[in-house]
Chains A and B, each alone.
Chain A
Amino acid sequence: MSSTSTHAEVTAVDTAGRWPVLLLLASGLGWLVISGICALIASIQLHSPTFMSACEWFTHGRVSALAETSFVYGWAANAGLGIALWVLGRLGGSTLRAQNWSMIGTLFWNLGITLGLGGIATGDATSFALLELPRYVQPLLVVAYIAIGISGILAWSGRRTEGTYASHWYAVAALFLFPWLLIAAQTMLLWSPVRGVLQPIIDGWYVQSVFSLWLAPLALAGAYYVVPKITGQALPSYEFAPLAFWTLLFVGTMTGGRHLIGGPVPAWIPTLANAACWMVLFHYIVVTLNLRGALTGGGTSLAFISFGLLAYLAGAVLDAVTSFRGVALVTQFTYFTTAQQQLALYGGISMLLFGSIYFALPRLTGRPWNSGSFVRSHKVLAMVGIFLLVGSLAVAGLIQGTELSNATTTFGEIAGRTRPWLLAVSVAQVLLLIGNILMLVNFLRSVCVLCCSGAASEAGSFRQPTTMEVHAS
């Protein structure tokens, strides 16, 4: 910790507004573990197809949908919103307002996710990628989301300083844009469905927009706040940050059509996606330049954020490369696409969120993380796990893609050749699951100490912020 950041530790803004944030973060971590269990089942089914397939609730299609939905709407949404509210509250300079709205909204959001996952397991899934949640929970999600977001928007509009900061832009953009996006997708796909291939086209747009307009901004809001706080330095190349922000918002959503190369859709959709993929790289490069201080800084938070930053950039480069027809000829429809998705969502978004959470929690509770060894174990397990997960999926995908283009290879042979790599994927899922359980336990224990011992001893550790970092750094 540098001395410049110690000032920020002694603040009542955190303690007075901590419960909505803690509730969001705890829900997120809980869903992350549930999602990890589903992802593990799904990955075992890839090399042992009969595993749990006799149970209708866990066919590969359903359990994959459960894993994906609980990951995005459970983990990333809750944790991202928690970080966004915390950042907006701090930047606003006053205690978070409308806390009750946010708490109630969180409860209903998670109720909606729970009902929705039950619906997917019992056969009510919509079969749209990332919009699998059944129709009957969708309106609830919109209302609950708006209730959560009110706190953040109030913190933004009532901020003490006139100027704004990159964290502001990303957090407000995510809070404001997602309801529009969800309502538009629901209307065109679920309430008054469009015809034929327009459905997959619009779903492709929605999936990409969820990433570009919602998850990435949530994760970046935290990273843009935490990195300068820890390094104690102004962000380099910051003058490009606004342009990078608008590039992501305006161009990012157009990259979704890359999944439709060669498909029964107008050719301009994948072509536009190809051009957009390269244009949006500007955003990724500027973000990397802005946050490059994380790469040389020390400590747990920055280690996670560095990993996340590089994965975020690498994911975008891979997206751009695979958006060419010649490359997609091999990688399309294979595990390679899954690898790219995991690189972006797990390596990029989740690692950035982990980094922000490791920084935020000691400030919210006023004490260090309960167990330093859990923190270090989670760091190692997450990094090794993601490397193994993305690497094995990518290799399996390349084998699968090469063999698929050879018409004489049967699917049984392809399964045999990819099997070792798919086994490695299951190992990676186990590592990630253990790591995430450690983080959840550590989080709950850190928060429980707060409930049990009251507020009496808080002041002590606030005056010695360096001790808070001892375990976590």
Chain B
Amino acid sequence: MMKNGFFFFIGLLAAFLLGWSSIPLLAHKQLGALTPFYDDGESSSFPTRPPGVAARGQLVYADLGCVACHTQQVRRPDFGSDKARGWGDRQSVARDYIFQGRPQLGESRIGPDLANWGVRKPPLDAAAIAQFLFSGVVSGAKAVSHPPFPFLFDDRPVDGEVAADALVGLAEKTPRRQIVPTERARTLIAYLQSLNNAYEYPEARHVAPAVAKEGAPK
């Protein structure tokens, strides 16, 4: 086989095709046709499609590379501290992501998981998120906990009235200027607020701890 060029190439191709069909194709066969779950009790289906502004915000999230520090996948309650940290009461499942154009699962938790950030406790409103993205400081905290992203904001003179979404707290220092979120910041904030995987699908129900221990590989 090593000497015969033809068979060697067939072998190479077979290696590629086996790898390709064993993961991408099999997974596609299993998950490619996943549908939303219709809940008779609530007369609606889940997950819901994100509003257009949030879908555009996901593109901002992607192009800034937020995925380098934030995951969006909650592990099961008995596997890690995800639930204890308030990131989500249940494990993330494949169905959560079917309407996301670019799922941002992530591989690094330099910062917290954001899968349910839109319903975090305590909740942050759009103005507080804007303040946070601009300064990198959570309101009330002293130290910078996030890189500030001032490029998502316009620093412009006040022309007539101060914009409704201008950052507060800066007016006293420079009354003639205002800092206003750009379009990208607004979509990013809408996206962050839309992150919510709270609905419990049948496959995502809590497993009783005793059963889970038995099933969990060591």
Residues of A within 8 A of B (CB): 45-46, 49-50, 53-56, 59-62, 64-65, 123-127, 129, 156-157, 162-164, 169, 172-173, 176-177, 180-181, 184, 188, 193-202, 204-205, 209, 213, 242, 246, 249-250, 252-254, 256-257, 259-260, 262-266, 269, 272, 324-326, 329, 333-334, 337-338, 400, 404-407, 411-412
User: In the complex the two chains form, is A49's CB within 8 Å of B31's CB?
Assistant: no
- Once the chains bind, are A333 and B15 in contact (CB under 8 Å)? no
Bound-state Cα–Cα, A326 to B217, Å: 8
In the complex, A53→B92 CA distance in Å?
31
Instruction: Enumerate chain A residues within 8 angstroms of B110, measured Cβ to Cβ.
Output: 46, 411
Nearest 6 A/B pairs, CB to CB: A61-B65, A53-B147, A253-B19, A407-B84, A249-B15, A127-B62
Q: Determine if B103 and A200 form an interchain contact, defined as CB atoms under 8 angstroms apart.
A: yes
* B130 CB to nearest chain A CB (Å): 16
B85 touches A254 (CB 8 A): no
Taking a contact as CB atoms closer than 8 A, the residue among B1, B22, B34, B98 that contacts A254 in the complex is: B22
Q: Is the CB of B81 within 8 A of A181?
A: no
Given known pairs A197-B97, A198-B31, the reply for A213 and B16 (CB within 8 Å) is yes
CA of A158 to CA of B86, assembled, Å = 63
Q: Verify if B211 is at the interface (C-beta below 8 Å from A).
A: no
> How many residues of chain B are within 8 Å of chain A by beta carbon?
76
List residues of chain B with CB within 8 A of the CB of A337: 107-108
Check if A65 sits within 8 Å of B12, measured CB to CB: no
Chain A, interface SS category: helix
Q: Is B178's beta carbon under 8 Å from chain A?
A: no
Cross-chain pair count, CB within 8 angstroms: 218
B210 at the interface (CB under 8 A from A): no
**A263–B80 alpha-carbon span in the complex (Å):** 12
Please tell me if B213 contacts chain A, counting CB pairs below 8 Å.
Answer: no
- Contacting residues, chain A, for B9 (C-beta < 8 A): 176
Is A256 a contact of B23 with CB atoms below 8 Å?
yes
Residue of B nearest to A271 (CB): B217
Decide yes or no: A405 and B80 within 8 Å by CB, A176-B12, A196-B31, A337-B108 being known contacts.
yes
Report yes or no: A64 in contact with B68, Cβ–Cβ below 8 A. yes
If A54-B151, A411-B145 touch, whether A264 touches B96 (CB-CB below 8 Å) is yes
Query: Could you tell me the distance between the alpha carbons of A211 and B18 in the complex, rounded to whole angstroms?
Result: 16
A250 to B97, CA, bound (A): 30
- Expressed in whole angstroms, the Cα–Cα distance for A399 and B151 within the complex equals 33
**A53 lies within 8 A of B148 (CB):** yes
Pair A195/B34 contact, Cβ less than 8 Å: yes
Q: Output the least CB separation between B82 and chain A (Å).
A: 9
Is the pair A50, B65 in contact by a Cβ cutoff of 8 Å? no
Task: Return the contact of A205 from the options B23, B73, B100, B104 (Cβ within 8 A).
Answer: B23
Q: Let me know if B205 is at the binding interface, CB within 8 A.
A: no
Is B37 interfacial (CB-CB < 8 Å)? Answer: no
Q: Can you list 5 A-B pairs, Cβ within 8 angstroms, ordered by A?
A: A54-B148, A59-B64, A61-B67, A250-B14, A329-B80
A60 engages B63 (CB within 8 Å): no
Query: Which residues from chain B contact A213 at a C-beta distance below 8 Å?
Result: 15-16, 19
Q: Please name all residues of chain B whose beta carbon is closer than 8 Å to the beta carbon of A50 when the two chains form the complex.
A: 136, 144, 147-148
Give Cα A259 to B106, complex, Å. 10
Q: Which of A60, A196, A242, A254 is close to B69, meaning CB atoms less than 8 Å apart?
A: A60
Given contacts A64-B65, A125-B63, A404-B80, contact A263 B145 (CB under 8 A): no
Contacts of A406 in B (CB 8 A): 81
Cβ–Cβ contact A264 & B22, under 8 A? no
Of the residues B11, B18, B63, B145, contact of A127 by C-beta under 8 Å: B63
Asked if A196 and B68 sit within 8 Å, CB to CB, the answer is no
Check if A195 sits within 8 Å of B32, measured CB to CB. yes
Q: Which residues of A contact B99 (CB under 8 A)?
A: 196
Q: Given A62-B65, A125-B65, A407-B85, verify A266-B147 contact (CB < 8 Å).
A: no
Give a binary string over B7-45; 1 marks a CB under 8 Å from any A CB, 0 the rest. 011011111101110111001101110100000000000
